[in-house]
């Protein structure tokens, strides 16, 4: 029962090939799981950052509305003061025309 060297070499080659395939499959499977975890982590980080940006934009909108309301109130005050000043000047002009001063 002699085994020829060629057959033995072929069998050893087949065993090594099968072992390589098995090791390659497990390595691929393991790396795929790591990639999925890594992608999920990156996705969560991006989502968190986007949420923070959205909250910042909302805060800026609120601040802008408050500033707009203050500018509107200030504008109305300036208009009232301008009208009051015009009336005061008219009264001063009337007094000067009468010659009381």
What's the confidence (pLDDT) of residue 65? 95
pLDDT in the model for residue 101: 52
3-state secondary structure of 86: helix
Rounded CA-CA distance 96/37 in Å is: 87
pLDDT at 97: 83
Alpha helices in the chain (DSSP H): 5-98
DSSP category for residue 66: H
Determine the Cα–Cα distance for residues 8 and 39; give it in Å rounded to an integer: 46
Q: Which two tokens stand for residue 22?
A: 């098995």
Distance between CA 46 and CA 101 in Å, rounded? 76
pLDDT at 100: 59
Q: What is the pLDDT along the chain (101 residues), one digit of tens a residue?
A: 566 888 888 989 999 999 999 999 988 888 888 888 888 899 999 999 999 999 999 999 999 999 999 999 999 999 999 999 999 999 998 888 886 55
């Amino acid at each position: 029962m002699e085994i020829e060297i060629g057959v033995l070499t072929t069998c050893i080659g087949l065993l090594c090939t099968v072992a390589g395939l098995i090791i390659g499959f497990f390595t691929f499977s393991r790396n795929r799981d790591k990639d999925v975890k890594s992608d999920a982590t990156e996705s969560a980080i991006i989502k968190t950052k986007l949420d923070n940006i959205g909250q910042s934009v909302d805060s800026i909108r609120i601040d802008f509305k408050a500033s707009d309301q203050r500018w509107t109130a200030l504008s109305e005050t300036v208009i009232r003061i301008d009208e009051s000043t015009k009336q005061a000047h008219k009264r001063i002009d009337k007094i000067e025309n009468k010659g009381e001063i």
